[in-house]
Amino acid sequence: MTPLLTTRGLSRFYGGLKAVDGVDFAVMPGEIRAIIGPNGAGKTTFASLVCGRVEPSSGRIVFDGSDITDMPPHRRARLGIAYTFQITSVFANLTAYDNVALPVQRTLTDGRGHGGVHAGVMSALERVGLAGRENAIAGTLSYGHQRLLEVAMGLALKPRLLILDEPTQGLSDGEIDNFIALVREIARDATVLLIEHNMPVVMQLADRITVMNLGKILAEGTPEQIRANSHVQHAYLGTPEEAEADG
């Protein structure tokens, strides 16, 4: 099977700071891949490079066999790359419905008009558990619900690759359980790249885990392999006993 996304020697430097430093990475279609690491490891910068919000200093990005290194973000979105931000980026003064309607409209090229938009909006809101809140002003929603609304906006693009950056931040325990079920459902027809600090969520969801530290990939493997990796324990997870408790 050919990887859906590949990076080769991908780097982003800010002066002397190597935020992402020569990363070779590949994710397979249908995979749930988690990227973990301490603060400042380069995780969000790497995701921003993939979606086009940040230009690389060097290296290449290939998506479904096409080199997208120099492609602007809106064209990457049309190819099927959707990214939810680490900090919510909903339109606070619009309703939840209108927030999701904007990306739905971008995906409708068959002239279905308002009926198609409405069906797409309600489907996305229902998938994330926000059905019934479509008329709420986004800025009045709880932080956790704003995060879920942003996931709905990403789903509305019908992505082939959905990048979720710290999606469980601000969610209650019950909402996290629902989110885990949602990601498993999304992965039936999309690939998921998950940047997450909540290690129990990572260990439950990820098929494979990539660990970043100081802009580089420190380790990759299954949850079990990462939990047992002494280098990862030292840099991020702590002692084996602490890693076990986190998982």
Give the Cα separation of 101 and 60 in Å (integer).
33
CATH number of the domain bearing residue 19: 3.40.50.300
> For residue 198, is it within any domain?
yes
> For residue 68, is it within any domain?
yes
> For residue 109, is it within any domain?
no
> For residue 212, is it within any domain?
yes
Average pLDDT, the chain: 89
pLDDT truncated to tens, each residue of the chain (247 aa)? 899 999 999 999 999 999 999 999 999 999 999 999 998 999 999 999 999 999 999 999 999 999 999 999 989 988 999 988 655 578 999 999 999 998 888 776 544 456 689 999 999 999 999 999 999 999 999 888 998 899 899 898 889 999 999 888 888 898 899 889 999 999 998 999 999 999 999 999 999 999 999 999 999 999 999 999 988 888 776 644 444 444 4
Range of the structural domain that residue 47 is part of: 5-80+159-246
**Distance set, CA 128 to CA 75, 96, 151, 167 (Å):** 26, 12, 7, 12
Three-state secondary structure call for residue 58: strand
Comparing CA positions, the residue from 220, 210, 143, 209 lying closest to residue 175 is: 143
Segment 143-149 long-range contacts (CB within 8 Å, at least 24 positions apart): 143/88, 143/169, 143/170, 144/170, 144/171, 144/172, 144/175, 146/88, 146/90, 146/170, 147/84, 147/88, 147/171, 148/175, 148/179, 149/88, 149/90, 149/96, 149/99, 149/100, 149/125
Number of domains in the chain: 1
**What confidence tens digit (pLDDT) does each residue in 133-179 have?**
999 999 999 888 998 899 899 898 889 999 999 888 888 898 899 88
Predicted TM-score of the model (pTM): 0.85
Whose structure tokens read 């120099």? Answer: 70
- Contact between 147 and 178 under an 8 Å Cβ cutoff? The reply is no
> For residue 30, is it within any domain?
yes
> For residue 180, is it within any domain?
yes
